[in-house]
Amino acid sequence: MRIALAGAGAFGEKHLDGLKLIDGVEIVSIISRTGEQAAAVAAKYGAKHSSTELDDALARDDVDAVILCTPTQMHASQAIACMNAGKHVQVEIPLADSWADSEAVLAKSKETGLTCMVGHTRRFNPSHQYVHNKIAAGEFNVQQMDVQTYFFRRRNINAKGEARSWTDHLLWHHAAHTVDLFAYQAGPIVKANALQGPIHPELGIAMDMSIQLLSASGAICTLSLSFNNDGPLGTYFRYIGDTATYLARYDDLFSGKEEQIDVSKVDVSMNGIELQDREFISAIREGREPNSSVGKVLDCYRVLGDLEKQLEG
């Protein structure tokens, strides 16, 4: 499986580190905003080609699939371009920053029959897989999820603290993780409400947000998001269910009493990004729809679109 990766920033390198661990995968091309960065990352990971233009990778006959870790605003158009070029594509979360663009990507996926997967990593983290397996076995049902997504980003910087060329978004990026996960664990979302704090005078986005969700099963979710949090960073999930309470922190899982639960045997790795990439590669090889295909996660973007209308109103 010959892969091109576009967007060789902090998250792009996480994918490259995961791809190195998958048998039969060759990293062929690295695309990034500057030629220097693209060349440096290509040298580090043994890619034969680097460029600043995605079209250069799409024109290559030795590229089977593309992973997009580019700015949010580019995701939908680039995913469609990849499929138009006959390439399978995994687009990092979020799929798009509008409901209309999300629908357009799904339409292109159906038209071409190519694999189009979205990077909803929470479906693959061993911690959340453990809970999902309990639900599937009938041993646990979610009653409530309480989620905190907190960062300190009053400037345009990435996970490495480096300057970004684009502005991140609490609703269309960070809320997407939890909206999809809640539906995955508790059933389709039938009601959603949102409130946001003041708009940042320079970044032009809300720095704080609160979201409420109700699933068809009757479960509820409360999601708090902030770019103003000068404290522990990341996302923390509390599952309150009928038989247990679980605390999920990325790939780690704890009981409600802070007792760590061994999730090392849930999957072949403890790295959610690697597991996500393994699913992408396997789905292409096996000719099947992947978990977190554009079709399976599309309803998340319907909910985000509805919430955006609420906030704009």
pLDDT for the residue numbered 121: 97
Task: Tell me if the bond preceding 94 is cis, omega within 30° of 0.
Answer: yes
pLDDT for the residue numbered 166: 62
pLDDT for the residue numbered 67: 98
pLDDT for the residue numbered 203: 87
Domains of the chain in sequence order? 2-120+273-292 (3.40.50.720), 125-266 (3.30.360.10)
pLDDT for the residue numbered 280: 98
Helix and strand counts by DSSP (H, E) for the chain: 9, 14
The CA-CA-CA angle for residues 134, 135, 140, to 5°, reads 75
pTM for the structure as a whole: 0.95
46 secondary structure, DSSP code? T
Whole-angstrom CA distances from 235 to 9, 12, 72, 242, 247 are 20, 20, 19, 23, 11
Structure tokens at 242: 């009928």
Q: Give, for all 313 residues of the chain, the pLDDT tens digit.
A: 999 999 998 899 999 999 999 999 999 999 999 999 999 999 999 999 999 999 999 999 999 999 999 999 999 999 999 999 999 999 999 999 999 999 999 999 999 999 999 999 999 999 999 999 999 999 999 999 999 999 987 876 656 666 666 667 899 999 999 999 999 999 999 999 999 999 999 888 999 999 999 999 999 999 999 999 998 889 999 999 999 999 999 899 999 999 999 999 999 999 999 999 999 999 999 999 999 999 999 999 999 999 999 999 8
Whole-angstrom CA distances from 183 to 133, 162, 192 are 15, 33, 12
The CA-CA-CA angle for residues 108, 17, 101, to 5°, reads 20
* Amino acid present at 263: V
Q: What is the CA radius of gyration of the chain?
A: 19
pLDDT for the residue numbered 154: 80
